[in-house]
A and B are shown apart, each in its own frame.
Chain A
Amino acid sequence: MDPILTKYVREPHAYTLDSYLRHEGYEGLRKALAMKPEQVIDVVKASGLKGRGGAGFPAGMKWQFVVKDTPRPKYIVCNADESEPGTFKDHLLMERNPHLLFEGCLIACHAIGAKVAYIYIRGEFLHVQEVLEQQLEEAYTKGYVGKNVMGLGFDCEIHIHRGAGAYEAGEETALLESLEGRRAQPRLKPPFPAIAGLYGSPTAVNNVETLCNVPSIMRNGAEWYAALGPEKNGGPKLYCISGHVQRPGVYEASMKMTLRELIFDVAGGVRDGRALKAVIPGGSSVPILLPHQLDIEASFDGVAKAGSLLGSAGIIVLDDTTCMVWLAENLLRFYRHESCGKCTPCREGTQWVLSILEKIERGEGEMKDLALLENVAGLIAGKTLCAFGDAAATPALTTLKNFRAEYEAHVREGRCTVPAPWRRRRTATVHAH
């Protein structure tokens, strides 16, 4: 498949308005503005565009749920808080193709009847934000954003809002809380943002890559888009491949591609001629797949059928030097640090799961700890306001399920049985996060 979202990103001036306009830039918006908002939503629904943030929810449906009959303003909020470990696609899109995102925001605003879009970008992406701000200013000056867009009588503002370091801000209601100047903690749903979102107004929250798909749908039509991928998984997909591969990177492909092709053909396979041990196919929050499970379509439905999730398409490749207890411990340290503290099972549970994993990895574990680990992790999953709880429970549960023997070997031998040269050489210092 010919790349669509990233076709020109390697050209030196790809991020400029001039370059964007040379490649049919803002033509999707022109077509959308000639249509009624409901028609735009119908086209996006027909295209089958699924949200690229992790949940894979159909974008057209999300827009359709936004309450129409209201005296309140409506908002588009772009989730650019990309922080799922192993995910770095929005980073590339915003840095190299910012106008594609602006165009997507504008079309989305037209579709739901919003006059303002906020792009919530994670605080660490300062260098990306600088590109966005500079290009947004250019777009305002040249009349592509602001009053009377392209002389077509459409008014729409785009603003950039910088986050400050919180994984939880990637959850849509927590993002809205953060945008409203509060702690990034999730809200009780319902009401969903489509009814009461930003400042209590109807809001649609969309991921960067989702919005970046919209202009090409407008330009080329729903059928063209749907045909790019397998059934119900239309369009191009950005895959972030990291870990022990030869060529880590962002790759655009059709979801007809299999996971094995992505890892071995596209990313060059496992580095240093080592053997593949396991793959995390959709960011750190999803269950592990084993080498024999990779001949599946790398689509939302294909990966789900194999018992995992495509999530944010952050494919983390693990070679045979990776200790699975260490891996779970590493990820739990992340989840303990990022737990927002609102729900007790997650706030307390992440600490306890981490403590047990540390104990086993240090070689002080007992066999009964394995059952305890399963028990505590199981007490987090499904018992929290947002999906963070399920995500935090996954690393321990999935490694236990697939690599129980490795846990048992740690306990039996009283040490880590899979040491690797790339790990720390000194005893780990326990630090309070």
Chain B
Amino acid sequence: MTFHPKIDYRELHRSKRHMPFDDGIPFVYTPENRDRLEVIARRYPPDPAGRRSAILPALYLVQRQIGYVSLSAIQQVASAIGCTPADVEDVVSFYTMFYTRPMGKYVVQVCRTLPCALRGAERVTEELMDALGTGPSGTDPSGNFTLMEVECLGACDRAPLVMVNDSWHECLGPEDAKTLAADLLARGEDALTGCHHQAPDRGKG
């Protein structure tokens, strides 16, 4: 991002992408998630600085509950942690794994960084765009699929790498990408097989 006058600030500034989305629905943690937050908070020192460490876990619980972090949720996290909503928004807007608006049912993330790109990640993105009907980063009209290009996921020996929700699909060449997309369209969640090339064969080459 940049503040240079020749570059459209509104297009590049992170806060444009991460401006918290007001869905008008008041957020409340489920009792289980609220309890879980307290269990996690006990890992850190029992003082305000220690409690603040639980912001990231608190946001993950929000995202697991409603799929993204809404404006109302930011206020709830702030009151649960004991900090200001601005403190929470500061954190939310920084990290790429927190979504600030509703995403597709399947969030398809293609690793685009060099080791994956050397093995055809750019072609994988093209195939997925065509098959899922999205842009290189965006959601399809049905709201089922959100395609994103992300930076190095840390499994470059299994490139190209595609992450669908929390499930990793490794060694996914452009042809396999087509199959994965067709599979997702036909079978939905059942197509998510998790890590394809999981250890023990990891690193065998």
Binding site for B on A (CB under 8 A): 6, 9-12, 14, 73, 82-88, 91-92, 95-96, 118, 122-127, 157, 159, 161-167, 178-184, 199, 240-244, 246-251, 267-268, 284, 314, 316, 318, 322, 327, 330-331, 333-334, 337-341, 347-348, 351-352, 422-426, 429, 431-433
Instruction: Kindly identify which residue among B11, B91, B114 contacts A432, using a CB–CB cutoff of 8 Å.
Output: B11
Chain A residue nearest to B171 (CB atoms) is: A248
Chain A residue nearest to B109 (CB atoms) is: A124
On whether the beta carbons of A165 and B96 are closer than 8 Å, the reply is yes
Separation in Å of the B137 CB from the closest CB of chain A?
A: 6
16 residue pairs A–B, Cβ–Cβ below 8 Å: A10-B199, A10-B201, A88-B154, A122-B154, A127-B166, A167-B151, A179-B53, A180-B49, A183-B94, A242-B159, A248-B205, A284-B114, A316-B118, A422-B123, A425-B126, A432-B17
Separation in Å of the B113 CB from the closest CB of chain A?
A: 5
Q: Known contacts A181-B52, A250-B203: does B94 contact A318 (CB below 8 Å)?
A: no
A241–B153 Cα distance when bound, in Å, is 15
A338–B14 Cα distance when bound, in Å, is 11
Chain A residue nearest to B117 (CB atoms) is: A330
On whether the beta carbons of B49 and A161 are closer than 8 Å, the reply is no
On whether the beta carbons of B113 and A165 are closer than 8 Å, the reply is no
Instruction: Kindly identify which residue among A184, A246, A318 contacts B118, using a CB–CB cutoff of 8 Å.
Output: A318
Given A181-B91, A199-B45, list of 17 further CB < 8 A pairs? A83-B154, A85-B151, A88-B156, A92-B203, A124-B153, A124-B154, A162-B60, A163-B56, A164-B97, A166-B94, A181-B53, A181-B56, A249-B205, A330-B117, A334-B152, A351-B1, A423-B117
Q: Is B202 an interface residue (CB 8 A)?
A: yes
Q: Give chain B residues whose Cβ lies under 8 Å from the Cβ of A432.
A: 11-12, 16-17
On whether the beta carbons of A86 and B156 are closer than 8 Å, the reply is yes
On whether the beta carbons of A162 and B155 are closer than 8 Å, the reply is no
What mask results when residues 75 to 117 of chain B are scored 1 for a CB within 8 Å of chain A, else 0? 0000001010001001100111110000000000000111101
Chain B residue nearest to A185 (CB atoms) is: B94
Best-buried of B49, B53, B55 by chain A (most CB within 10 Å): B53
On whether the beta carbons of A249 and B114 are closer than 8 Å, the reply is no
Interface of B is mostly: loop
Q: Is B168 an interface residue (CB 8 A)?
A: yes
On whether the beta carbons of B94 and A248 are closer than 8 Å, the reply is no
Best-buried of B52, B126, B158, B202 by chain A (most CB within 10 Å): B202
Q: Known contacts A91-B154, A267-B205: does B126 contact A86 (CB below 8 Å)?
A: no
A203–B4 Cα distance when bound, in Å, is 38
In residues 31-82 of chain B, which contact A (Cβ within 8 Å)?
43-45, 49-50, 52-57, 59-60, 81
On whether the beta carbons of A424 and B125 are closer than 8 Å, the reply is yes
Q: Is B192 an interface residue (CB 8 A)?
A: no
A334–B117 Cα distance when bound, in Å, is 12
Chain A residue nearest to B118 (CB atoms) is: A243
Interface of A is mostly: loop
Separation in Å of the A29 CB from the closest CB of chain B?
A: 22
Binding site for A on B (CB under 8 A): 1-4, 7, 11-12, 14, 16-17, 43-45, 49-50, 52-57, 59-60, 81, 83, 87, 90-91, 94-98, 112-115, 117-120, 122-123, 125-126, 135-137, 149-159, 163, 166, 168, 194-195, 199-205
On whether the beta carbons of A429 and B203 are closer than 8 Å, the reply is no
On whether the beta carbons of A161 and B56 are closer than 8 Å, the reply is yes
Separation in Å of the A135 CB from the closest CB of chain B?
A: 14
On whether the beta carbons of B199 and A9 are closer than 8 Å, the reply is yes
On whether the beta carbons of A85 and B205 are closer than 8 Å, the reply is no
Q: Give chain A residues whose Cβ lies under 8 Å from the Cβ of B45.
A: 73, 199
Q: Give chain B residues whose Cβ lies under 8 Å from the Cβ of A183.
A: 90-91, 94
A404–B83 Cα distance when bound, in Å, is 52
Closest 7 CB pairs of A and B: A247-B205, A164-B95, A165-B97, A242-B156, A165-B96, A424-B122, A181-B52
Separation in Å of the B152 CB from the closest CB of chain A?
A: 4
On whether the beta carbons of B90 and A182 are closer than 8 Å, the reply is yes
On whether the beta carbons of A316 and B114 are closer than 8 Å, the reply is yes
Separation in Å of the A380 CB from the closest CB of chain B?
A: 13
Q: Known contacts A181-B55, A249-B205: does B49 contact A199 (CB below 8 Å)?
A: yes
Best-buried of B96, B114, B115 by chain A (most CB within 10 Å): B114
Q: Give chain A residues whose Cβ lies under 8 Å from the Cβ of B123.
A: 422-425
A118–B157 Cα distance when bound, in Å, is 28
A157–B112 Cα distance when bound, in Å, is 37
